[in-house]
Amino acid sequence: MFLAWDESGLRLLGHPVHCQLVHFPIALLSLALPADLIGWWRMDGFWHAAASWSLAGGLLTALPAAAAGLADLAALPKASPAQAVAQRHMIAMLAAVGVYVVSFLARLWGTTGGLAISDVLAGAGWLVLAFGSWLGGELVFRHRVGTTLSVG
Number of structural domains (the chain) is 1
In a domain, 147, yes or no: no
Query: What are the C-alpha distances in Å from 34 to residues 78, 125, 143?
Result: 40, 13, 33
In a domain, 49, yes or no: yes
Which pLDDT score is estimated for 148? 64
Instruction: Please tell me whether residue 97 adopts helix, strand or coil conformation.
Output: helix
Which pLDDT score is estimated for 150? 39
Domain hosting 88: range is 3-142
Per-residue pLDDT of the chain (152 residues; tens, 9 = 90+): 788 887 778 889 888 999 999 999 999 999 999 999 999 999 999 999 999 999 999 999 999 999 999 999 999 999 999 999 999 999 999 999 999 999 999 999 888 899 999 999 999 999 999 999 999 999 999 998 888 643 33
In a domain, 151, yes or no: no
End-to-end alpha-carbon separation of the chain, Å?
10
In a domain, 82, yes or no: yes
Which pLDDT score is estimated for 5? 83
Which pLDDT score is estimated for 152? 33
Cα separation, 121 vs 32, whole angstroms: 11
In a domain, 103, yes or no: yes
In a domain, 150, yes or no: no
In a domain, 57, yes or no: yes
In a domain, 26, yes or no: yes
